[in-house]
Amino acid sequence: MPALIKFENVTIFQDERPVVGNLSVEINPGEFVYLLGKTGSGKSSFLKTIYGDLPLNMGTGSVCGQSLNNLRSRQIPYLRRKLGIVFQDFQLLSDRSVYENLRFVMKATGWSDENKIRQRVEDVLKKVSLEGKETKMPHELSGGEQQRVSIARALVNEPEIILADEPTGNLDPETSEEIVKLLRQISESGRAVLLATHDMIIYNKFKSRTLIFENGKVMEQN
């Protein structure tokens, strides 16, 4: 089975400044991979390159079979349909219910059949243990529940890869552990999950393949 992410001799730039140099890595279906490193070490820039927010100008890279070299703006939405992205601050629409948050993303990515939308929302909320929360507003949910909604949102289009950028940064230790367990379950279903984190307690509790970002380089640790 081909790698979902393949970078060869890649240098990643942020504002014309190289932040990661000479990166070669392959990530396969079903892998759970930590990205460790200080703020500014290139973890988020690596994720942004994967989802097409930063151009790949040096080296070669592909994601889900799509080349990142000379990626055109009209190709980016098709690339992102194969990805699910989870952020630290949830990024839910505060004036819409859980159901409407998920529906909004689905309509934006081409879903039109309301019955299929409803069924898919029910399916993904069940996967993240939020059955029956469809009508809740974000402010009525705990931080952990809001993050579960954002993970459900990331799953609606059956992505091949989940990119989680500090998803436990605003959560207490117990809730953080629940979120990482959920992300690990998702990887066991065949998706690749990349988790950027500063949380060494979580990291030490749930060891897995690791990419360490430091001094402009990436080192691997299994």
By residue count, the chain amounts to 222
**Do 47 and 194 contact (CB within 8 A), yes or no?**
yes
> CA-to-CA distance for 213 and 200, rounded, in angstroms?
14
The CATH number assigned to the domain holding 14 equals: 3.40.50.300
Position of tokens 């950027």?
196
CA dihedral 37, 48, 218, 27 (to 10 degrees): 110
Residue 173 is assigned to a structural domain of this protein = yes
Burial 132-145 (b: 16+ CB within 10 A, else e): ebbebebeebeebb
Residue 69 is assigned to a structural domain of this protein = yes
Average pLDDT of every residue of the chain: 93
**Backbone φ, ψ for residue 116 (5° rounding):** -70, -35
Global pTM reads 0.92
What's the total number of domains in the chain?
A: 1
**pLDDT tens-digit readout, 26-45:** 999 999 999 999 888 999 99
**Backbone φ, ψ for residue 63 (5° rounding):** -135, 120
Residue 175 is assigned to a structural domain of this protein = yes
Token digits for 56?
Answer: 């790949």
pLDDT exceeds cutoff 80 at 1: no
Residue 100 is assigned to a structural domain of this protein = no
Q: Which domain holds residue 39?
A: 5-82+159-221
Residue 108 is assigned to a structural domain of this protein = no
Q: Is the dihedral of CA 177, 84, 190, 63 positive or negative?
A: negative
Residue 164 is assigned to a structural domain of this protein = yes
Residue 97 is assigned to a structural domain of this protein = no
Residue 28 is assigned to a structural domain of this protein = yes
> CA-to-CA distance for 72 and 129, rounded, in angstroms?
38
> CA-to-CA distance for 142 and 146, rounded, in angstroms?
6
Q: How confident is the model at residue 108 (pLDDT cuts 50, 70, 90)?
A: confident
**pLDDT tens-digit readout, 136-160:** 999 999 999 999 999 999 999 999 9
